Structure 1
Amino acid sequence: MSRALGLALGWALDQAIGDPRHWHPVAGFGSVAMALERRTYAASRTNGVAHVALLVTATAALGVVAERATRHRQPARTLVTATATWAVLGGRSLTREAATIDGQLRRGDLDAARVQVRNLVGRETSTLDADEIARACVESLAENTSDAVVAPLLWGGLLGVPGLLAYRAVNTLDAMVGHRNERYREFGWAAARLDDVANWVPARVAAALALASSGSRERAAQARDAIRRDAPAHPSPNGGVVEAAFAGVLGVRLGGSNTYDGRTEDRGTLGTGPAAAVQDIGPASRLARRVSAGSLAVAVAVAVAIEALSARGRPRRRR
Structure 2
Amino acid sequence: MSTALALTVALVLDAVFGEPKWLWDRVPHPAVMMGRLIGWADRRFNRDMEKGTARKAKGILLMLTLVIGAAALGLVLRHIPLLEILLGAVLLAQKSLVDHVKAVARGLETSLEAGRHAVSMIVGRDTSAMDAPAVARGAIESAAENFSDGVIAPAFWFLLFGLPGILVYKITNTADSMIGYRTERHRDFGWAAARLDDVLNLIPARLTALLLFPWGKKLSLWREIFAEARRHRSPNAGWPEAALSRSLGVALSGPRAYHGEMRDYPWVNPHGQEANPCDIDAACHRLWSAWALVFVCVAILSFA
- Do the two structures share a fold, i.e. TM-score over 0.5? yes
Give the counterpart letter for 2:115 in structure 1.
A
Contact 1:150 1:296 in 2 (8 A): no
Aligned to 2:289: 290
Are residues 1:90 and 2:93 paired?
yes
Identity %: 37
**What are the within-5 Å matches in structure 2 for residues 10-49 of structure 1?**
10-21=10-21, 22=24, 23-42=28-47, 43=52, 44-49=55-60
For structure 1, the 5+ residue unaligned runs are 71-75, 306-319
Aligned to 1:102: 105
Question: Per-residue deviation at 1:91?
Answer: 1.1
Contact 1:84 1:164 in 2 (8 A): no
Question: Per-residue deviation at 1:267?
Answer: 2.6
Are residues 1:247 and 2:258 paired?
no
Give the counterpart letter for 1:167 in structure 2.
Y
Q: Tell me how far apart the structure 2 counterparts of residues 302 and 54 of structure 1 sit (CA, whole Å).
A: 33
Q: Tell me how far apart the structure 2 counterparts of residues 264 and 185 of structure 1 sit (CA, whole Å).
A: 20
Contact 1:3 1:81 in 2 (8 A): no
Contact 1:230 1:270 in 2 (8 A): yes
Question: Per-residue deviation at 1:168?
Answer: 0.6
| Counterparts in 2 of 1:166 and 1:300: CA distance versus 1, 3 Å | farther
Question: Per-residue deviation at 1:151?
Answer: 0.3
Indicate the larger mover: 234-243 or 261-270: 261-270
Give the counterpart letter for 1:33 in structure 2.
I
TM-score (norm 2): 0.90
- Figure out how many residues of one structure are paired with residues of the other and give that number: 292
Aligned to 1:4: 4
Give the counterpart letter for 1:86 in structure 2.
A
Are residues 1:117 and 2:112 paired?
no
Secondary structure of 2:265 counterpart: strand
Give the counterpart letter for 1:3 in structure 2.
T
**What are the within-5 Å matches in structure 2 for residues 184-203 of structure 1?**
184-203=186-205
Q: Tell me how far apart the structure 2 counterparts of residues 241 and 54 of structure 1 sit (CA, whole Å).
A: 30
Aligned to 1:181: 183
**What are the within-5 Å matches in structure 2 for residues 1-319 of structure 1?**
1-21=1-21, 22=24, 23-42=28-47, 43=52, 44-67=55-78, 70=79, 76-77=80-81, 79-108=82-111, 110-211=112-213, 214=214, 216-218=216-218, 221-222=220-221, 224-271=222-269, 272-299=271-298
Question: Per-residue deviation at 1:304?
Answer: 6.9
| Counterparts in 2 of 1:57 and 1:264: CA distance versus 1, 3 Å | farther
Contact 1:102 1:282 in 2 (8 A): yes
For structure 2, the 5+ residue unaligned runs are none
Contact 1:7 1:81 in 2 (8 A): no
